[in-house]
Amino acid sequence: MKVGYARVSTGLQNLDLQEDSLKNTGCEKVFVDKISGVKKKREGLRAALEFVRSGDTLVVWRLDRLGRNMQELIQIVNDLNEKGISFFSLQENITMDKKNSTGQLMFHLFAAFAEFERNLILERSAAGREAARARGRLGGRPERFTQKDLDMLQMLVSNGTPIKDIAAMWNVSRTTIYRYIDKLSSLNKG
């Protein structure tokens, strides 16, 4: 039996491409995660690994969907091999089982490249954040409220307008309003 595993890094990303490819390849069951590959606790992967049996093949759309570092990929595939379970990656066209030494070599090469790519992304992101800090940008979301909004907020709070009504006016949570009220009170003290 072919069993698929698909993963995207965030809940905002779409699994359709991966799931369609896995089903078109003949996967009878597909497990999914919407979580970063660097996270240890991936329930979909755990369930897929518990589901597959000797003689089955675990199929992924691309190697980096299974894991982001070479050590983890190798460990998972070696565990599968010990249980008599094959592994196949669609994009890299790698079949990995105990009998396929070429597949094992290709797997290790692609795993190394996947880890290298991940490290490059991390380095570029860190360099970008450092360059932004050097230009005075601290990161994070831009402030939601302008000074005019803060003045209005202060006036509404002083007049006793309920927080839930204020939050509804700006279409934000009450927590956001309380955070800005705290910010205003600390500014007024200083």
User: Which sequence positions are flagged as catalytic?
Assistant: 9
On whether the CB atoms of residues 58 and 127 are closer than 8 A, the answer is no
Please give the C-alpha separations between residue 14 and each of 7, 9, 38, 125, in angstroms, as whole numbers.
9, 10, 18, 23
Residue length of the chain:
190
Rounded to an integer, what is the distance from CA 2 to the centroid of its chain?
A: 25
Q: What's the CA gap between 52 and 88, in Å, rounded?
A: 13
